[in-house]
Structure formats: C-alpha cells, structure tokens
Amino acid sequence: MFRLDDSKKVKVYAVLVAVFLLVLSFASGLLIGASQRPAIEKVIGLENKETLKPQEINFGLFWDVWSRLQEKFVDKNKLDNQKMVYGAIAGMVSALGDPHTVFLPPEENKRFQDDISGSFDGIGAEIGIRKGSLVVVSPLKDSPAERVGLKPGDKIFKIDDKVTNDLTLDEAVKLIRGKKGTEVVLTIFRDSFDKAKEFKIIRDAIKIPIVKFEKKENGIFLIQLFHFTETAPVEFRKALQAFFDSGSSKLILDMRNNPGGFLQVAVDISSWFMPAGEVVVKEQFATGEEIIYRSRGYRLLEKIPTVIIVNEGSASASEIVAGALRDIRGIKLVGAKTFGKGSIQQLEQLPEGASLKVTIAKWLTPNGVSINDNGLEPDIKVEVKPEDEDKLKEEGRDIFIEKAIEVLKGL
C-alpha cells in the first residue's frame, strides 16, 4: 500500500488550507458584492437589462427606484412590469417637450392606425398643444365644433371630467372622438372670458370641406381653402377655372382656420403662383441636412395681384403656402398670427405592437424662417373685439375680407 511520508503530508495539508482560505475569501467577496451591487443587478424578471447601460449615462437611479417599488409598494397586484416599462418610455419621450413626439403602446397604436386609415366621428376640430396647454387649432367649416362656437386658440381645460394637464395629444383626441350622436363636454377658457365655460357638443360624422369661392366687387375673386386633403388640388383647379371665367383680375386666398394636410398638396397649390424651380419650403433635419421642395411652375397666377388671409387657425400646410408666397412673390398676409405647426413626424413601428411618432424635421420658409412654434406674423393685422363679434355676424360683415379687398384695391 502506498503511504505518504511526513514531509509530503505537511505539503498536502498546506495546499488544502490554502484552497479553503481561497474559497472562503471568494465567497465573502460574493456576499459583500451582492450587498453593494448596482440596483439594476437586483432587478429580476426583465430581459436585456445590460443594453440599457451606456457608459455616458448612469441608469442606477432608475433601477434603484424600480427595485424599491418591487420590494416595498403596498399593492403588489398593481405591479405590472410591462405597464411600468411603457410608462417609463412615455415619460422619457414626454421629457423632450415636443407634443408631437409620442410613444404609443400597442392598444393606442392600433387605434391610431384605425383613425388614419378610415373615417371617424367626432366634433370636427383640429387640436394641438401650445406652451403646455391643449388648444383648439381650428374648428372645421360647418362642424359641430364650429356650430357651438369654438374658436382657434381656445384652451381646453377639461374633456368631460378629465383634466387635460397631463394628457398627450393622442390621449386627448381619443377622449374627444366618439360615436355619432353622443355628447362630449369641453371646459374652455378664452382670453375674452372671465372664467372657463362648458361647451356641450354632439358628435357627428365629420365631412371635411375643401374649397369655396365667389366673385366679389371691383374685379376681385375670393377662394376659401379649408384643408389640404388629397382632393384639394382638383378642387382648387375648379376654383381657378371659375376665377378666369368670371373675368376677375385680382384674388383673395382665404386660409383662415385651415389646419393643413399633405405637404405635396401645399407644393402643388403654391406652384400656380410661382415659376418652376422656386423654393416652396425646406425641411431641416437634426443633422443639418435639408430637403428642398420646389415649385412645379404652373404659374397661371404668377402675375395676378393676390392677398392671403390667415389667422390663429392657419397651420401646417397653409403656413407653408403663406410663407412661400410672401417670400417669393411678396404677397401680403392679412389677419392674425398663424398657429406655428411646422414640423414633420415619422411613425416608427416598434416590437410588440407599439410605435413611436417622432418629430424628425422642421419646416422653413424659402427665406429660412422657421414656422414651428413661431408662426407667421401678418403684414396687415386685423383684430375683432369680442364685444363686436355678434354685431358683425348680424350685419353679415367679415372685416378680414373687407381689409383684404381694401389692400387689393391699392395694388
């Protein structure tokens, strides 16, 4: 039988003791490290946590809060990890301060896709967010919103019993829309009001008007353009035919309460007033790259004396047309400062049925003026005092058109 001598026994014991001490030291380190490891390492039940740790940003606070909620929040049945993740993403997007950049969880994304692919019932008003407040951009012509007296710039404080302070634009739209024949109550504040007032509105099927026109006195023709839909170019051509058939020599283009629409339609309509190749609008991206949209050069109205009427409800594509014709043709803007919706959103489809609607660029006029947030100041300002509105309506007067006619007479 093989036996170790005493010297070899001592060496073996020494090795075993060393290994034991090494294991003990390693185990102690694990225990100490576990108590001091970052909060993200304590979180269980989530995948791909390591992808959320870019070196320049410390996510420790986020995961610290997450782990404390998991450990200490009293209503454990309300701890829905997926909803918490969606809420965190929505908060991150909201922190950008851009009301048009929003995160849409799967349910809201499906509703959004349904809205843009078909018709809908509602009150017929374009709404937006300005300086943190939900506002009416413009009520559509002959819509329930217009009939009850909503106006551009009205601040919406409540939708039924829901306060709007923390609502995203898409959430507000969802609450305002509803089935034809149902009622929604909007609590509105207007600068001329002493206090907020409730407007009860019965929802209806929304039909978007496009163009209306008529011959005025002194060789002046009026075209009212209400929206930049896909059919607007065809409807605008019909109005132009009526203009030339009437023998008129001067034109008023009225784009009050026009919330906009398709960019290419704005380019098409601008092309009637401009030579081919002239800049209509510039898209400026975060990288500084610009895409320039140019006139197609229809130019039948290039020499026609024209005045454009705008107001607080003129937004997006209507601001593009107004800005282009003023910069390139020197056409005067009459009315009130426009809304200032000059940005482009892109819809990014995300995993699990969610999506991100993100602002990717801003619109600039040919002279490089940013439309977004700023709006366009009119060359000739027109104001209607609240106390004069009913009187003017009874008399059938429109002082915006009266002012535009006055300006045209001098051209």
Which residues carry out catalysis?
Answer: 316, 327, 341
Would you say the CATH fold of 211-345+358-409 matches that of 106-205? Answer: no
> Residue 132's pLDDT is what?
83
Which is more confidently placed, 311 or 132?
311
Mean pLDDT of the chain: 86
Closest CA to 102 of 91, 113, 115, 118: 91
The CATH code for residues 106-205 is 2.30.42.10
pLDDT digits (tens, 9 = 90+) for 316-337: 999 999 999 999 999 999 999 9
Extents of the domains making up the chain: 55-95, 106-205, 211-345+358-409
SS3 349: strand
> Residue 26's pLDDT is what?
46
Pairwise CA distance, residues 273 & 361, whole Å: 26
Name the amino acid, one letter, at 353: G
Assign domain 211-345+358-409 to a CATH class. alpha beta
H-helix or E-strand spanning residue 220: strand 220-225
Query: Is it the case that residue 19 has pLDDT exceeding 50?
Result: no
Residue 124, both tokens: 């017929």
Pairwise CA distance, residues 118 & 4, whole Å: 90
Q: Span 52-67, mean pLDDT?
A: 76
pLDDT digits (tens, 9 = 90+) for 196-217: 999 999 999 888 789 999 999 9
Q: Please, how many CA atoms are within 13 Å of residue 390, restricted to the half-sphere of its CB?
A: 1
Beta strands in 289-404 (DSSP E): 290-294, 306-310, 332-335, 343-349, 355-364, 380-381
Closest CA to 356 of 111, 109, 172, 91: 109
Question: With a threshold of 0.85, does the pTM exceed it?
Answer: no
Which of 227-231, 275-279, 385-389 shows the highest mean pLDDT? Answer: 275-279
H-helix or E-strand spanning residue 81: helix 81-94
pLDDT-derived band at 164 (thresholds 50, 70, 90) equals very high
Pairwise CA distance, residues 5 & 12, whole Å: 11
Q: Span 334-359, mean pLDDT?
A: 90
Q: Span 64-69, mean pLDDT?
A: 91
SS3 343: strand
Query: Is it the case that residue 292 has pLDDT exceeding 90?
Result: yes
